[in-house]
Amino acid sequence: MATGVVAALLSVMVLAFVEGLRLFYPARETWLRLRRTRGRRSVWVMRRRYESAAKGTTPRRLATLLLGLIIIWVAVASLLDKRWNEVVLDVLPSVVVWVALLRTPSALRAIAERMKDFERWLGEDPDAEPGEGDGGPAAVTL
């Protein structure tokens, strides 16, 4: 019973983390600090990686695998001498993680769109690749 409670709490924390990233990351100040310390080009590359990860199929495949495991667990519950409410409590954390996996691509897309909006806010074209002399730690000469 205690491990089920811990699993439920951790699964809710995973979903809250994904939704928190979707809603709040990066803040404008964080984005500006990243550009100032890492350079325009590396923040642009980071945004492009978020966009490509949002188009990827890995979270969807993992969610499909997890859904299959949930279905198998529910199907064999009668063989395990469990009541239906015990099965639901056992499956609940997995369902929450399944939802978090399904929400991950949209969260990454929202983060990339927020970064594009910040670039537009500075008057830059988000689709244009930054040039070589766009600052960052590598541009500092001694």
Q: Tell me if 32 sits within 8 A of 126, measured CB to CB.
A: no
* Rg for the chain, CA atoms, rounded: 21
Domain extent listing, the chain: 6-126
In the predicted model, what is the mean pLDDT of residues 6-28? 90
> Residue 119: pLDDT above 50?
yes
Q: What is the pLDDT of residue 134?
A: 56
Least confident of 75-84, 92-101, 107-116, 130-139: 130-139
The structure's pTM equals 0.79
- Which residues, including other chains, have CB under 8 Å from residue 95's CB and lie 6 or more apart? 70
> Residue 68: pLDDT above 90?
yes
> How many CB atoms lie under 10 A from the CB of residue 14?
17
